[in-house]
Amino acid sequence: MVPCRLSTSVWSALLLVRKARKMACSAVRSPVLRNSTVRRYAAAAAAQCSSAVPELQVLSSNKVTVAAIDNNSPITQVSIIFKAGSRNETYNTQGITHHLRIAAGLSTYRSTTFGITRNIQQLGGNLIATTDRESIAYTLQITRNNLDKALIFLEDVATQQVFKPWEIADQLPRLRYELSMIPETTRVMELLHKVAYRTGLGYSLYSPKRQLGKINTEALQHFVNTWFTGSNCAVVATGVPLSDICEFASNLNVCSNDNENCAETAKYHGGEVRKERSSQLSTVAVAVEAAGLNKEKDALAFAVLQRAICSGPHVKWGSSVSPLQKEVWSAANTDQFAITAFNASYSDSGLFGFVLSSVPDCAYSTTEAAAAYLRSPKLSDADIARGKTTLKAEILYAADNEPALLENLGQQAILKKRTYQPSTLVAEVDKVTASDVKSVAGKLCNGKLSLAAIGDLSNVPYVDELK
């Protein structure tokens, strides 16, 4: 499932901002364990965050980065993450990370598909594979007392793949099903990345249909051998001491070559792509280039800006009263649309813009008004203060949600080789001034637009019609 996630952090800010969005699958179809939802008061959450300090170490044996938080949780989570996503593909191997995700849980050198599934279920665990544009993660969720018995299957799935041809062929119906079920809002984001970057970050999280049946055992194994290396690997965990995870990570069978491959440097192009489909809606995404995670101050300012202008309603079935929402409503004189701003930050580039869905009759006026606001956002100091408060709340909520905590910890380890405490992130947000936010907002007026549209396009403007 890949809804478009718009993220957060100098780490939760820079990383809840990060992904447009994650693809996930479970090797265990009906997991016994599910993450429980626990209500906590703010004081209790603050106390928990302050006592759970992330620890990090880079192993000398195989160059794997290890990070852990021992928060005394009864459920332990362990992820093996590789810095290898769809941006690492080539034109001829597009979709290979989608195939890799689907292949998680298939037979390995030491275990069969049945053996992996049955043993994880018997231990009451859950094994998940997720991919995004810059990484692939294999995650184990298990009770603390069964961790040692289950880690062998996590290691098998992540590092001992064999990609038997007949098992790969058996996954084609599932691939076709996933491709048929992609919602239009996700499709439009994939198209937007394609037109913005063309290659690298422009390659989709989903396999092109023309690639089905063409990604074979040799291609999968070559990709794994090339990118699943020690310096591209991180092992992160919650609910377990760092020393225990270091012992596990030091024995991982990953290559530690000095000559590591590097992904193609992101190059923003801009432009337009339109895909007409039989639909009752017009779905449009418009963006300009923003800051990547390598420019933390600007990326954090863009994260605040997103929440200041329009981060969508926070009440189910509610409506937004954000500046962007009000601007579009007053210009179009209709409420037959939904809109949200997004900020997708990657390691060396980013996109900032909006996604709009409306009835076809008002698609032109709403898109035109939203694009005009994107070019010149009108923000008060109160709007910026609200954006900062929202971002800080998201950081603390993410720290109190164990799957989100593990994900952020993994992205910190794999991209920055360091970890951040939630309190540190909140302090960084507090340092963002109104002038910082207005400064990055001012850069939007000169950026080259990228536009992607899907659905009924009878009244959707072309990119050269947007000012």
User: Are 397 and 298 in the same domain?
Assistant: yes
d(CA 323, CA 327): 6
User: Are 336 and 199 in the same domain?
Assistant: no
**Structural domain span for residue 358:** 271-465
Domain assignment present for residue 1? The answer is: no
User: Are 427 and 315 in the same domain?
Assistant: yes
User: Are 292 and 228 in the same domain?
Assistant: no
In this structure, are residues 287 and 352 in contact, taking their beta carbons and an 8 Å threshold?
yes
Residue 291 per-residue DSSP state? -
Domain assignment present for residue 93? The answer is: yes
What pLDDT shows up at residue 213? 92
Please give the tally of structural domains in the chain: 2
CA 239 to the chain's CA centroid = 23
Domain assignment present for residue 60? The answer is: yes
Beta 282-290 vs 350-358: how paired, if at all?
Answer: antiparallel
Q: What does the DSSP assignment read for 137-166?
A: EEEEEEEGGGHHHHHHHHHHHHH-B---HH
Domain assignment present for residue 181? The answer is: yes
Print pLDDT tens along the chain (467 aa). 333 333 333 344 344 334 434 444 444 333 322 333 333 333 334 444 445 688 888 887 788 999 999 988 999 999 999 999 999 999 999 999 999 999 999 999 999 999 999 999 999 999 999 999 999 999 999 999 999 999 999 999 999 999 999 999 999 999 999 999 999 999 999 999 999 999 999 999 999 999 999 999 999 999 999 999 999 999 999 999 999 999 999 999 888 765 567 888 899 999 999 999 999 999 999 999 999 999 999 999 999 999 999 877 777 777 777 899 989 998 888 888 999 999 999 999 999 999 999 999 999 999 999 999 999 998 999 999 999 999 999 999 999 899 999 999 999 999 988 898 899 999 999 999 999 999 999 999 989 999 999 999 999 999 999 97
> Whole-model pTM?
0.87
Beta 271-276 vs 75-82: how paired, if at all?
Answer: unpaired
User: Are 29 and 156 in the same domain?
Assistant: yes
Domain assignment present for residue 263? The answer is: no
Domain assignment present for residue 3? The answer is: no
Domain assignment present for residue 141? The answer is: yes
User: Are 414 and 304 in the same domain?
Assistant: yes
User: Are 138 and 184 in the same domain?
Assistant: yes
User: Are 246 and 283 in the same domain?
Assistant: no
User: Are 245 and 392 in the same domain?
Assistant: no
Domain assignment present for residue 5? The answer is: no
Nearest to 323 by CA among 383, 234, 245, 389: 383
User: Are 165 and 200 in the same domain?
Assistant: yes
User: Are 312 and 202 in the same domain?
Assistant: no
- Report the CATH number at residue 16: 3.30.830.10
What pLDDT shows up at residue 121? 94
Which residue do the tokens 């544009």 mark?
A: 133
User: Are 192 and 275 in the same domain?
Assistant: no
